Amino acid sequence: MSREKELYEARRWVDTASEDIDAARVLMDKQKFSHACFFAQQAAEKALKALWISIGEDPWGHSLQKLISTLPQVDIKTTMEEFIEESAVLDRYYIPTRYPNGLPDLTPSKYYFQKDAHLCIESAERIINKVRNIVG
């Protein structure tokens, strides 16, 4: 794939990440906090995958922390390492926000609150903005 096509595809992923963050905000406003957390995680994941795509690599997996720590381009990896802790926090919202057996005795809607959704959305937005600055 040419560099121009890689950047085009990466920007499509970042745009989709932005749409997911918008959906997370709507879900938070509707007090669907577990869903808002999940959409925020997904937004950050798509943004990080955009980085991989922008350098001609094929990202795999769902762990944000791993997507950052295994970035093959050193300068981008170094730039993104400030988000390792935030990505690790967002990783915790990938499965248990969606499945009733992901938490003992509770459904996700009873376990997650507005502060969780707010934290996830803010973290994901920081990651998306950084990626958008890198990808263009």
Interval 52-83: pLDDT, tens = 999 999 999 999 999 999 999 999 999 999 99
Can you read off the two tokens belonging to residue 26?
């709507």
Domains held by the chain: number? 1
- Work out the percent of the chain whose per-residue pLDDT is above 90: 93
> Residue 37's domain spans which residues?
3-135
pLDDT tens digits along 87-110 = 999 999 999 999 999 888 999 999
Band of the pLDDT at 136, cuts 50, 70, 90? confident
* Tokens 């720590």 sit on residue: 69
Question: What is the 8-class DSSP label of residue 59?
Answer: -
pTM to 2 decimals? Answer: 0.96
- Identify the pLDDT of residue 58: 94
Distance CA 92, CA 83 (A): 15
CATH number of the domain within which 39 lies = 1.20.120.330
Distance CA 124, CA 120 (A): 6
Please choose, from the candidates 119, 107, 117, 123, the residue with its C-alpha nearest in 3D space to the C-alpha of residue 31: 117
pLDDT tens digits along 48-58 = 999 999 999 99
Helix residue ranges, H only, the chain: 3-29, 33-54, 64-69, 74-80, 84-91, 108-111, 114-135
